[in-house]
Each structure stands twice: as C-alpha cells, then as structure tokens.
C-alpha cells in the first residue's frame, strides 16, 4: 500500500514517515512538492502518484500566527484540506486528517469524548474544525484529534523549554492549561494500526494520563537532569499570547476503546523515552 503524507517535514509528518515507511511505501509531500492551497498542485501530484490512502498533517499549527493572520489560517487549514478532499474523491481513496483538541472551548474539567459538542475559541480551532467537517464529507475517513505534541524531527514545546533551562534562562509555561500530551511516534503507530484495521471515523488520540503544561515541562526538566527553578508557571491570561487557548481539555479516547485498539502508554513513560533518546542530545 502506498500512503501519501502531507506536511512530511513537520513534527507529526516526520513521525508518520518514519513509522508508516517501515511497513508501507510512502509518498512524503512537502511544500516544495505542492502548494496544497492550489487545487492544480494537489491534482498534479496525487493523480500522478495515485496513492492508496493519504494522511493529512500539513497545517498552520501556531494559534498565535493564526489569530494574527486569519486569512492565512483559512487558506492553510481549510482550503488546503478541501483540495485534498476533492482529489481524494476523484481517486476514491480514504483520508486520515490530523486535528486538534483546540476544537473544544476548555470550559469543563470533565473528559471530552468524540461525541461532545465542539466550540472553538480561536481562529486556529475554528479553521481546524472546518477542516474536520470537510474530511467528513468523504465516504471513508479518519479524523484524529491530538493534543500538545513532542517528538523528534522538529523543535517543539519540550525542546524549547529544555534549551532555555540549559542556557540558564527562565521559561514561562501556562500553569492552568490542563490536558493530555502526545508523543508523535506513539500516536503515529496507533494511527497506522487504526487505518490498517479499517475502523473509520473520529478518534481522540494522545498518550494516557492528565497533566498541565507546567507539569509536563517540569517532568521533562527532571528527566533531563535540569533544575526546575527557572520554570515560571503563569496563568494562561498572563501569558500574553494573541491566540486563545482552551484552559482544560482532557480527551477521552472512547472511540479507540470501542474499536478494540489498545490505548497509548502513559505520557510520563513516553516523555522519558523522548528525553532519553532525543531531547537530551540537545
């Protein structure tokens, strides 16, 4: 099976190319290969290569950038996805779309299931929800909502914090932003497992366990043997970021459970592996 992967140079795309490529033929797609906001580019590469399935990770993932540039966010997150969907219909292939917990408003501490109503509070969340809706027009699709990412291949939240601590700088982290964490290599393997089983639909997907952003960063610092004194916990409202973040989104992986797929391991175990194998190299 040949699987196309958009955003192949991104954090999630890197993991998927590595994990999926160990089992199947892959078609890694980057911005250099095709501008996904141009339907002609998408048709050229996909009709030329004719993959059997596609995993769509490419997006404008920064909530602050999206809030400042809503037109750009709409093009990158919505128009690009609609173009992917249109060509997927021509090829009659399924699409797996990587979405986000930012489709929720963060107003409740109760775990959110796939059937709970969405209510994004940011341009980023709004455009990712529109992208979900576009993908759901296909007969065969997967939508995977993930949370804050860490993994190899691209500088991420954990890397930035550890780099700051190593250099003796302070690093401000939201102390009241609570949710789940996602190790890209772990969830890439689960995505492949779900796709191969042909269990379709909407899935929440992350490592198990709950943590605040501050707890996540503190654990990473401890694992890396760094002092935590320079980690500055602040309420979200004091972080001074233009893109609103939902305060509490704990995703329950109900669809994964009912599909008979085992849940990913605890976030602390995943983080320990990442810090040992990757972040510690920095």
Band of the pLDDT at 188, cuts 50, 70, 90?
A: very high
Q: Is 260 left (phi over 0), alpha (psi -120 to 50) or beta?
A: left
Q: Could you tell me if 172 and 232 are in contact, meaning their C-beta atoms sit under 8 angstroms apart?
A: yes
Q: In CATH, which of 3.10.580.10, 3.40.50.720, 1.25.40.10, 3.30.1330.10 is domain 2-281?
A: 3.40.50.720
What stretch of H or E contains 269? helix 267-277
The strand pair at 95-100 and 141-146 is best described as parallel
Question: Considering only CA atoms, which of 203, 205, 63, 58 is closest in space to residue 121?
Answer: 63
Domain boundaries, the chain: 2-281
Q: The whole model's pTM is what?
A: 0.97
In sequence order, what are the residues at sequence separation of 6 or more whose Cβ sits closer than 8 angstroms to the Cβ of residue 60? Answer: 66, 72, 73, 76, 77, 124, 127
Query: Is residue 214 scored above 70 in pLDDT?
Result: yes
Residues 142-164 as b or e (16 or more Cβ within 10 Å = b): bbbbbbbbbbbbeebbbbebbeb
Q: Could you tell me if 156 and 216 are in contact, meaning their C-beta atoms sit under 8 angstroms apart?
A: no
Q: Could you tell me if 54 and 93 are in contact, meaning their C-beta atoms sit under 8 angstroms apart?
A: yes
Mean of pLDDT values over 107-126: 97
For 192, the token pair is 């492949």
Query: Is residue 238 scored above 90 in pLDDT?
Result: yes
Give the chain's mean pLDDT.
96
């Amino acid at each position: 099976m040949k699987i196309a992967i958009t955003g192949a140079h991104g954090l999630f795309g890197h993991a998927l190319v590595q994990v999926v490529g160990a089992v199947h033929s892959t078609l890694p797609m980057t911005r250099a290969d095709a501008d996904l906001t141009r339907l002609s580019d998408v048709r050229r590469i996909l009709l030329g290569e004719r993959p059997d399935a596609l995993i769509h990770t490419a997006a404008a993932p920064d909530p602050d950038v999206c809030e400042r540039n809503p037109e750009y966010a709409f093009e990158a997150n919505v128009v690009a996805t609609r173009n992917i969907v249109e060509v997927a219909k021509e090829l009659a292939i399924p699409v797996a779309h990587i979405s986000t917990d930012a489709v929720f408003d963060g107003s409740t501490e109760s775990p959110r299931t796939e059937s709970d109503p969405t209510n994004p509070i940011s341009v980023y969340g709004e455009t990712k929800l529109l992208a979900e809706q576009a993908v759901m027009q296909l007969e065969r699709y997967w939508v995977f909502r993930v949370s804050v990412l860490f993994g190899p291949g691209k500088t991420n939240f954990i890397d930035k914090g550890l780099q700051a601590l190593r250099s003796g700088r302070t690093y401000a982290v939201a102390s009241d932003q609570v949710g789940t964490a996602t190790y890209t290599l772990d969830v890439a393997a689960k995505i492949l497992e779900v796709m191969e089983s042909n269990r379709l639909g909407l899935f929440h997907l992350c490592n198990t366990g709950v943590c605040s952003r501050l707890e996540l960063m503190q654990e990473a610092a401890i694992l890396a043997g760094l002092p935590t004194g320079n980690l500055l916990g602040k309420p979200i409202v004091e972080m001074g970021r233009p893109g609103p973040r939902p305060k509490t989104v704990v995703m329950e992986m109900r669809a994964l459970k009912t599909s008979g797929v085992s849940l990913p391991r605890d976030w602390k175990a995943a983080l320990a592996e990442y810090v040992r194998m990757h972040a510690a190299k920095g």
